[in-house]
Copies of this chain bind each other. A is one copy, B any other.
Amino acid sequence: MIKIKDIAEKCGVSIASVSKALHGNSDLNEKTAEYIRKVAKEMGYIPNSSAQLLKTNRSYNIGVLFVDETSSGLEHEYFSSMLNAIKNEAEAYGYDITFISHHLKQNDLTFYEHAKYRNVDGVIIASVNFKDPEVINLVDSEIPTVTIDYSFDGKSCVSSDNIQGEMDIVNYLAKMGHKKIAFIKGDETSVTQKRVSSFYRACEENGIQVKEEYVKEGRYHLPKVSAIATRELLALKDRPTVIIYPDDYSLLGGITIIEKNGLRIPDDISIVGYDGIKLSRLIRPIITTYVQDSVEIGRQSARKLIEIIENPKSSIPEQMIIKGWLQEGQTVKDIN
């Protein structure tokens, strides 16, 4: 491992000069600086981020908190796609990504402790239980954070437009002549709350009355649960003409049941998903769904976090809402 001192010796200068040359910082003679840099390159010098950090308190490392109850956050396309975007954006700014977790061996650190332990410059928080005291603790700490799909007062947050999303869906359904709209909720989270209230509001605005029996409790990413809810909906005397699912993935569970009942999509019943996973466009029928712009969400959250890190004073908290769009697939029938 070659270090600054080696370069200094080789060049016959002090280590301070080498450090300065390497940073292009100060008032070093340009010739000398040039020469030092050349030698450093020749010797294959690689800075040691930990040593730099120890002095500067900057790690150029961003923590990503990506856990969920089923510990499969990464397996959801919405999140893996987002993570990929975060990674790309962060790298473009010279930051690396490290996962934050309960560091099991290291005395079971809290999220905050783990972030401190690794000296990350900031943390992007997604796919967690935002009521978790540990999460709240982290957000309230001196560490810059950006949350995704959940806002804390006075903190920056990037969200998918759940209000508009659900509204777009309902408006579209209304346009297609649907009045009997069923809605299967996802897990009890703030995202779900937004979608639910937006659903009710949009129905109201369209003069659609929502029967209580049309609204079901469901779960994200669990096709089985959606399947059960679907079965119940299909068994109703006054059957809905369309079912809105919590997400594209769980919607597939609904399809299974619908087909098992000998019904055809969309002729006998229409269905709508949420997320816009890539597969929603590949399978037939193409799923009508609201596409969340996970790439833009990831990109903006990384960008915002870096802004906070690099301008701690002047940066102002911001709640960014990232628009998605309705994908008009083939699962909704025009019944006008």
Contact = CB atoms under 8 A, between A and B. Distances in A.
Given A98-B98, A282-B256, A88 B103 contact: no
Contacts of A104: 91-92, 94
A132 interface: no
A49 B253 contact: no
Interface in A63-89: 71-75, 77, 80-81, 83-84, 87-88
Contacts of A252: 279, 282-283
Interface in A52-66: 53-54, 59-61
Interface stretch (A26-34, A109-117, A153-161): A109-117
A176 interface: no
Interface in A207-224: 223
Given A91-B104, A94-B106, A97-B98, A49 B118 contact: yes
A105 B310 CA distance: 15
Interface in A237-254: 249, 252-253
A103 B282 CA distance: 35
A190 interface: no
A99 interface: yes
A103 B97 contact: no
A94 B105 contact: yes
B74 A80 contact: yes
A51 interface: yes
Interface in A108-136: 109, 113, 116-119
B97 A99 contact: yes
A71 to B, nearest CB: 7
B119 A50 contact: yes
Interface of A: 1, 46-51, 53-54, 59-61, 71-75, 77, 80-81, 83-84, 87-88, 91-94, 96-99, 101-106, 109, 113, 116-119, 223, 249, 252-253, 255-256, 259, 278-279, 282-284
Given A50-B119, A256-B282, 19 more contacts: A46-B113, A47-B106, A50-B50, A50-B54, A73-B84, A74-B81, A75-B81, A80-B80, A87-B101, A91-B99, A91-B103, A92-B104, A93-B105, A96-B99, A223-B282, A249-B282, A252-B283, A255-B283, A255-B284
20 contacts: A46-B109, A48-B117, A48-B119, A50-B50, A50-B51, A54-B54, A60-B106, A61-B98, A61-B118, A74-B84, A87-B101, A91-B104, A92-B104, A94-B105, A94-B106, A98-B98, A252-B279, A252-B283, A253-B282, A279-B279
